[in-house]
Structure 1
């Protein structure tokens, strides 16, 4: 595991964000189940430039973010979240920054993610505050919610 970012969150706890491999998939699945109350993380982990980030607060797993190459120009953040007890401390924002920096260093020109504003309003607000633009909106019948596509040039 390679630590890629370290800072102090507002509660004076130490936040570390690490790039982890598929050997940590069980931990990611546990976090996913607690955060989203669903078993599926992403459809497949067989992706080019797969990046899995794990956030820890004082060494305790608090959140994750997974992304991969969508095409030669765009890096796609497929899923990520923070446990409820660690929200509103800037952890999701730091995960986003680390992933965007990583994608920029790999030569990607655009960063994108989809979100469901009625299920996860915080990710919509975060994206808009961080300068993302809504590039698509549609209705997802599985989640029975509107899905927004947010994109930003890197």
Structure 2
């Protein structure tokens, strides 16, 4: 199901048909370094992740991490969307793209449109984002779409302190 489009991209719900792509993305060295190993090592585990992660979150909250694909050829590029984490008070925007699609403006296009969707359609008053302290590229993109560094935080399931960025609408 399509959620929204930008000039070059479609953001839609993930389906189990996306399992091969999700498996590749979640095992890319950049994902493992900056997001972490989610233990998804097979296509079957990728299907379980899609059903029990993004699709369940969409059913519960009306948002999730959407699959980002190019409009012209439907090639999946990455993920972008929102999460509601137990250890964060606010809704969290996030994104991840395969490295071969970095530097082409796709992440900026998807993230800025997702932020606007959160404000205009979902009616969110505050959106946050988290990054590892060494993830400069994501931090720059968050700042480019209007989020500001707020403080370091430690999530309940993580020993590492993360950078928290926020965007307030009130």
Alignment partners' CA distance in 1, 2:123 and 2:132:
28
TM-score by length of 1: 0.73
Deviations 1:18-73 (A, max 9, x none): 221454562434322224133358895543223232222332211112413469x9
Tell me, yes or no, if structure 1 residue 19 matches structure 2 residue 34: no
RMSD value, Cα: 3.2
Q: Which has the higher helix share?
A: 2
Tell me, yes or no, if structure 1 residue 86 matches structure 2 residue 107: no
Q: Which runs of 5+ in 1 are unaligned?
A: 8-14
Q: Who is 2:69 aligned against?
A: 56
Aligned residues: 144
Q: What is the deviation of 1:5? A: 1.4
Q: Who is 1:12 aligned against?
A: none
Please point out which of 92, 106, 111 is paired with 1:76: 92
Sort the Cα spacing of 1:80 and 1:131 in 2 relative to 1 into closer, same or farther, 3 A: closer
Q: Who is 1:36 aligned against?
A: 31
Alignment partners' CA distance in 1, 2:154 and 2:92:
19
Q: What is the deviation of 1:75? A: 2.7
Q: Which has the higher strand share?
A: 1
CA contact (8 A) 2:6 2:109 kept: no
Q: Which runs of 5+ in 2 are unaligned?
A: 41-48
Tell me, yes or no, if structure 1 residue 122 matches structure 2 residue 148: no
Q: Who is 1:149 aligned against?
A: 164
